[in-house]
Amino acid sequence: MGWWCSNTATLYFDNCRVPAENLLGVEGKGFLSIMNNFNYERIGMASAALGSSKLCLAEATAYALERRTFGKPLVKHQVIAHKIADMSIRIDALEALVNQVCWGAESGTMPVAEICKAKVFGSKVFEYCASEAMQIFGGAGYLRGNLVEHVRVKVNAIGGGSEEKMKDLAVRQMGL
Ligand SMILES: Cc1cc2nc3c(=O)[nH]c(=O)nc-3n(C[C@H](O)[C@H](O)[C@H](O)COP(=O)(O)OP(=O)(O)OC[C@H]3O[C@@H](n4cnc5c(N)ncnc54)[C@H](O)[C@@H]3O)c2cc1C
């Protein structure tokens, strides 16, 4: 649904022999490697959600400046201006969280709970911004051709660890 260039398929490795020198990491410790990789994947997904949310805001704002209804640009209608403010507030908050999480990861203390929370918050902010951007475009938002059509929201809430599991893990990391 949407990620057309990233196909999904079942791979079988029946009777597949791999030479010992091709071992990645330490034998028996693969799960730890996967978990560590997840931290970076989730930071990447929160960051991608931030970038995509910014795209939605920029595109919707440009349209709201250009499109006129009832004698004035859309952006001069308070309801539309507030949508832009609400998107911008969430984006600012997400950006601050993503920066904090990146700083933590770079400084060597992997902030797992915050990474999980950032991934959930990222997908929620992205979902909100994509929806509001489409709404600002009105009927044009449902037509092919605008950039907002190309954002892929739902996979962010599932791939790399679903929102539900991210919350579970965050709470466990909080010692609860
Ligand atoms: C486009 C796409 C690309 C992907 N790419 C990769 C990839 O490259 N590599 C890779 O390894 N994986 C990849 N995934 C897999 C992805 O990580 C899983 O789809 C995701 O973790 C959810 O697992 P599931 O699909 O088995 O859902 P399920 O585990 O069956 O969950 C179904 C629903 O139930 C909820 N749920 C499950 N268990 C619980 C629980 N204990 N408590 C509460 N709620 C629960 C889930 O949150 C979800 O809403 C990709 C997925 C997608 C959609």
Task: Give me the residue spans of the domains in the chain.
Answer: 27-173
Asked if residue 2 has pLDDT above 90, the reply is no
Residue 69: the pLDDT is 98
- For the Cβ of 40 lying below 6 angstroms from any atom of ligand 1, the answer is no
| CA dihedral sign of residues 42, 155, 8, 167 | positive
Residue 156: the pLDDT is 93
Split at pLDDT 50, 70, 90, the class of 100 is very high
Residue 12: the pLDDT is 96
For 115-125, what is the mean pLDDT?
98
Split at pLDDT 50, 70, 90, the class of 7 is confident
Question: Helix and strand tally (H, E) in the chain?
Answer: 5, 2
For 89-112, what is the mean pLDDT?
96
Residue 76: the pLDDT is 98
- For the Cβ of 113 lying below 6 angstroms from any atom of ligand 1, the answer is no
Split at pLDDT 50, 70, 90, the class of 149 is confident
- Under a CB-based contact definition with an 8 Å cutoff, are residues 83 and 156 in contact? no
Residue 150: the pLDDT is 85
- Hey, which of 7, 31, 158 would you mutate to test ligand 1's pocket, going by the most ligand atoms within 8 Å of its Cβ? 158
Indicate whether this model's pTM tops 0.85.
yes
- For the Cβ of 164 lying below 6 angstroms from any atom of ligand 1, the answer is yes
At 156-174, the pLDDT tens digits run 999 999 999 999 999 999 9
Average pLDDT, the chain: 95
Residue nearest to atom 14 of ligand 1 (CA): 159
CA dist 34 to 4, 22, 107, 129, 134, Å?
25, 17, 21, 31, 36
Q: Greater confidence, 8 or 79? A: 79
Residue 8: the pLDDT is 87
- For the Cβ of 141 lying below 6 angstroms from any atom of ligand 1, the answer is no
- Classify domain 27-173 by CATH number: 1.20.140.10
Say what percent of the chain tops pLDDT 90: 84
- For the Cβ of 158 lying below 6 angstroms from any atom of ligand 1, the answer is yes
CA dihedral (95, 115, 36, 3) in degrees, to 10, reads -60
